[in-house]
A and B are shown apart, each in its own frame.
Chain A
Amino acid sequence: MSSASKAYLLNWHKANRALNTPLPAQTMRHSADFSADEAISPLDERIIASASEAMEAGQTHYVDVPGIAPLRAALADFLNSACGSAFGASNIIVTAGVQEARFLTIQKIGELFDSIGVPAVAHPGVQKALGVRKRHVVSLPVDDARGYLPTIDGIAAAVADGCRLLYLESPSRLSGAAYAADEVAAICQIVNEHDAAVIWDQGLSPWVAGDYSSLTALESTPTRIAVLSDGWPGMGLSSWFLGAIAAPEEWVAPMQSQKQIMAICTATASQYAALEASQLYSESQAGRLAQLGQQREALLQAAAAADLEVVAGGALNIVALRASAGGEAALEKLRGVGADGADFGAPDTIRLTISAATASALA
């Protein structure tokens, strides 16, 4: 096709840098790949049995656009018990992975506002979702020393300047750093003072050892807040693409409508598998965190030996590294196996998935 139309289309898409931001793999491609959002986890045979039973019972057809009712209830319980929020099943949309959750919230909640404040350093999926249909984006400055979390002053300035919708990750998808309780309270105050709204990605919060402060769990939690969740991470379902949004019902309606337009519903087998995972999660999560804690310690020692600086972070599933003096070569070697911080907005940083093999690979 020599066509001008096609050339126009290709140039139009190629010029869209946000859309072309590379996306990290959702799970490790192989045992020596540490670039993924999540390590490979075993799948409990009870999950297989439950999903199989559903399929054999004829659960192979379309289901409700926002998800099967018991899963929506289970996701609400998961968020409420972990973070102290008060969502009901009617606040939940089951999504085909967390990227669909990013896309739906950014695009559909974004339609309600003139601009959206986005961290200068965030998961590449945020840029990609923004790139599909351009919105006015306000870049929120981040603090390198706080694991690339947007600064409270930067958030306050953006909101005071008229930006009424914020997209925030806590924990950061690059470093795993999460806002402390006083910082969350400060964000809450800024948002409430200006009647602003928030898309709050707390998908990595299950990986935080110890206390986690969610913007959804305060006495004065903003009324307009949408939460992104990865469902039950670590249960072996990352390749099944299941995520969730929790939001006020007036926001659920337009996002549900858009999900219907995009995909009708999330894969039925994934939903029944996740429903079973919701029952089993508490059995194994503490052990998973303990194991990851050990693996992380070994990784930190190997990083220090290689003159690599660990970026502040509290999640146990990932670690972000920068080069200390003399560590440039070591960091460069990691570019092939880790996630490139440049894709997140931090070019001097590499993110590694923590797994049994990560520390030895670094060493």
Chain B
Amino acid sequence: MSKKREDQGTNLLYKLIGEARGYDDVIVMGRGDPDFDTPAHIVAAAKEAMIHHHADYSPPAGLPALREAIAERVKRVNNIDVDPASEVVVTNGGQEALFLMVLATVGAGDEMIVPEPNYTTYADSLDFAGATKVEVQTWPQEDFRADPALVRAAVTERTRALLLVSPNNPCASVISPGDMRELLDIAIERDLMILSDEIYDLFVYDDFAHTSPAALPGGKERTLTLNALSKSYSMTGWRLGWITGPADLMARVTELKAATTGGASVISQYAGIAALTGPQEPVEMMAAAYRRRRRLVLDALDEMGMKYGLPQGGQFVFADIAFTGLDSAEVAQRMLTEQHVLAYPGSAFSKDRKDYLRMTFLQPEDKLIEGLERMKVAMQGIMAGR
């Protein structure tokens, strides 16, 4: 691996995570791992499964009961009708879902349109597939809106798919219903597949609303939709996600799933059934906490005079640090080394976002407050040393 690759994207983030582990008092505002423990009834279901179902066979697409629960969930939350037997594949988290969706839709020489900035793993997965990421820029003054006109202009003869991440990671924008319709129309006109990453669909703020392209007329047959339990049920360690989509393409996704990891742990799958079919109050509690924390972070950034695109959804804020005059990788490194606060540099998400930091609000409020205080000290130090 070249030095250049070591200091970019996913590798850069993991380098920072590794260093953060070395600080006992670190405040993590980087990684997207909710601070809440998995709700007790889900853990209890997993324990029951160990006793009664430890050796159950799971086909690569997942346990039928879990696929049914997923089908019910995507109908209830996303208004998408899917057949659990043929249109759902269970994955090892959203990350595997993302990887499989990319492998299913593009190959060497193909192009995928990706509104920027975006989650690092999409670039990694496209690299693996030998496909090209075609970036469409977004701007903070428009709250990082993915402009359909720019998307349309980016389509070429080699474009196979359009990636839509809403709420977006890292910039927390939400695609409006009108823009979503327009983006789908482009996909229909230009015969593109849509990859829809909806992992933060339960966390949308103020008056913004989540829209699934597969729920719109003409959308389902050309859309692969991913989701996971990691963020919504605080189940990152269980590695459980899913893809839904049209049956013919999902048959290919199933083969890819079998080829890469074979299946998902049955214990995690039983935990997933409990999450989706059990009480949903824990999710509402976490969503309420994220609303409060978001406000707290935004107020602190306002106080520091930092600009940001308004987080319309998700669990983070993408803040402008151009005033420091430094590359975000350097700012993140100094915040970590000097103040033991981990935030992610925007340059890890896009070469054009060296002026941004991504900060999650996945810490208890007292820790968040302390983290923001330390961040303020770090910024003052940076400014004083300029």
Take A4-B191, A9-B249, A96-B261 as given contacts and tell me if A41 and B60 are in contact as well, using a CB distance cutoff of 8 Å: no
Q: Is B104 interfacial (CB-CB < 8 Å)? A: yes
Residues of B within 8 A of A20 (CB): 255
Q: Is B209 interfacial (CB-CB < 8 Å)? A: no
Pick from B104, B260, B268: contact of A267, CB below 8 A: B268
Residues of B within 8 A of A98 (CB): 262
Are A254 and B1 in contact, CB atoms less than 8 angstroms apart? yes
Pick from B57, B252, B261: contact of A100, CB below 8 A: B261
Q: Is A333 interfacial (CB-CB < 8 Å)? A: no
Are A257 and B55 in contact, CB atoms less than 8 angstroms apart? no
- CB interface residues, A 19-33, toward B, < 8 Å: 19-20, 23, 25-30, 33
Q: Is B37 interfacial (CB-CB < 8 Å)? A: yes
Q: Which of B44-52, B66-74, B197-205, B320-328 touches A?
A: B44-52
Chain B interface secondary structure, helix, strand, loop or mixed?
helix
Are A131 and B51 in contact, CB atoms less than 8 angstroms apart? no
Are B193 and A6 in contact, CB atoms less than 8 angstroms apart? yes
Question: How far apart sit A96 and B222, CA to CA, in the bound complex (Å)?
Answer: 30
Residues of B within 8 A of A30 (CB): 57
Pick from B38, B50, B237: contact of A265, CB below 8 A: B237
Are B260 and A261 in contact, CB atoms less than 8 angstroms apart? no
- CB interface residues, B 221-243, toward A, < 8 Å: 221-222, 234-239
Are B262 and A13 in contact, CB atoms less than 8 angstroms apart? no
The interface bits of chain B over 128-146 (1 if a CB of A lies within 8 angstroms of the residue's CB, else 0) are: 1110000000000000000
Q: Is B156 interfacial (CB-CB < 8 Å)? A: no
Chain B CB within 10 Å, residue with most, of A23, A29, A51, A241: A241
Residues of A within 8 A of B256 (CB): 19, 132
Are A41 and B55 in contact, CB atoms less than 8 angstroms apart? yes
Residues of A within 8 A of B46 (CB): 55, 269
Q: Is A3 interfacial (CB-CB < 8 Å)? A: yes
Residues of B within 8 A of A12 (CB): 107
Are B222 and A267 in contact, CB atoms less than 8 angstroms apart? no
Q: Is B165 interfacial (CB-CB < 8 Å)? A: no
Question: How far apart sit A227 and B259, CA to CA, in the bound complex (Å)?
Answer: 19
Q: Is A156 interfacial (CB-CB < 8 Å)? A: no
Residues of B within 8 A of A145 (CB): none
Chain B: interface size category:
35 or more
Take A125-B262, A133-B128, A241-B261 as given contacts and tell me if A65 and B14 are in contact as well, using a CB distance cutoff of 8 Å: yes
Residues of A within 8 A of B43 (CB): 55-56, 60
Are A129 and B259 in contact, CB atoms less than 8 angstroms apart? yes
- CB interface residues, B 92-110, toward A, < 8 Å: 92-93, 95-96, 99, 103-105, 107
Question: How far apart sit A268 and B38, CA to CA, in the bound complex (Å)?
Answer: 12
- CB interface residues, B 132-181, toward A, < 8 Å: 160
Residues of B within 8 A of A254 (CB): 1
Q: How many whole Å from B216's CB to the nearest CB in chain A?
A: 13
Closest Cβ neighbor of B218 among chain A residues:
A1
Question: How far apart sit A188 and B193, CA to CA, in the bound complex (Å)?
Answer: 48
Q: Is A5 interfacial (CB-CB < 8 Å)? A: yes
Residues of A within 8 A of B239 (CB): 96, 263-267
Question: How far apart sit A30 and B57, CA to CA, in the bound complex (Å)?
Answer: 8
Take A6-B222, A48-B51, A133-B128 as given contacts and tell me if A240 and B266 are in contact as well, using a CB distance cutoff of 8 Å: yes
Are A268 and B237 in contact, CB atoms less than 8 angstroms apart? yes
Pick from B55, B260, B267: contact of A99, CB below 8 A: B260
Closest Cβ neighbor of A242 among chain B residues:
B265
Closest Cβ neighbor of A127 among chain B residues:
B259
Pick from A58, A128, A260, A269: contact of B14, CB below 8 A: A260
Q: Is B277 interfacial (CB-CB < 8 Å)? A: no
Binding site for B on A (CB under 8 A): 1, 3-6, 9-10, 12-14, 19-20, 23, 25-30, 33, 36, 40-41, 43, 47-48, 51-52, 55-56, 58-63, 65, 95-100, 103, 107, 125, 128-129, 131-133, 236-242, 253-254, 257-258, 260-270, 273
4 more CB-based (< 8 A) A-B contacts, given A30-B57, A55-B38, A60-B238: A1-B222, A4-B191, A253-B1, A258-B128
List of 6 A-B pairs having minimum Cβ-Cβ separation, nearest first? A268-B237, A99-B262, A1-B221, A128-B259, A60-B38, A13-B252
Binding site for A on B (CB under 8 A): 1, 10-11, 14, 31, 33, 37-38, 43, 46-47, 50-51, 54-60, 92-93, 95-96, 99, 103-105, 107, 121, 124-125, 128-130, 160, 191-193, 221-222, 234-239, 246, 248-249, 252, 255-256, 258-268
Pairs across A and B, CB under 8 Å, 30 listed: A1-B221, A4-B191, A10-B248, A13-B104, A25-B59, A28-B57, A29-B57, A48-B47, A48-B50, A52-B47, A61-B33, A62-B33, A62-B237, A63-B237, A65-B14, A95-B261, A103-B260, A132-B259, A133-B130, A239-B265, A240-B266, A241-B265, A257-B10, A260-B14, A261-B128, A262-B95, A264-B95, A269-B46, A269-B238, A273-B50
